[in-house]
Amino acid sequence: MAEREVLIYPDPRLKEIARDVDLVDDYIKQVIQDLIDTMEMSGHSTGIAATQIGEPVRIVVADASKNKKCEDNHGRLVMINPEILKWEGMLQFREGCMSVPDFTGNVNRARKILIRYQDENLESKVIEAEGFEAVLLQHETDHLEGTLFIDRVISKRTDLFRRKKYK
């Protein structure tokens, strides 16, 4: 197991655009395993993108089932080269991020998405996600474009909040 250090904003690597993955070699397999390990060992994360651990490749690991309020979901997903094909509806969601640990913020996201990606065998998949899972996948794919949730906060004056510290 290899838990990796998560980059913290304003690390400039978080603003880089990730490159496509064309081959699943040992390096890519290790990045995937490191993402899974880092997400699992955080104890609270439902998703992570490769750029958050300093790897500029288009890979996301997400597991909406870790959120007790998310009943309908696809379980743990390893997504290579994810691309959102369709957006539907709108909802406001309070988001947080391991790369922005001191803040949460209100962000407008699509309520439902259609997303295409490749699995660990580079087989093409298309799924539909709604609610929390849709928000999670939008948040994580944003990371691959160098976009953080704080870039999408509705109003930096009224919709960005200091995260509460629990003892």
According to the model, what pLDDT value does residue 64 have? 97
pLDDT in tens, the chain (167 residues): 699 999 999 999 999 999 999 999 999 999 999 999 999 999 889 999 999 999 999 999 999 999 987 888 999 999 999 999 999 999 999 999 999 999 999 999 999 999 999 999 999 999 999 999 999 999 999 999 999 999 999 999 999 999 976 55
Fold of 12-162: Peptide Deformylase (3.90.45)
DSSP assignment of the chain:
----PPP-TT-GGGGSPPBPP----HHHHHHHHHHHHHHHHHSS-SEEEGGGGT--BSEEEEEGGGSTT--S---EEEEEEEEEEEEE--EEEEEEETTEEEEEEEEEE-SEEEEEEE-TT--EEEEEEEHHHHHHHHHHHHHHTT--HHHHBS-TTTSEEEPPP--
Choose the catalytic residue: 40, 95, 140, 145: 140
| Domain locations along the chain | 12-162
140 is catalytic: yes
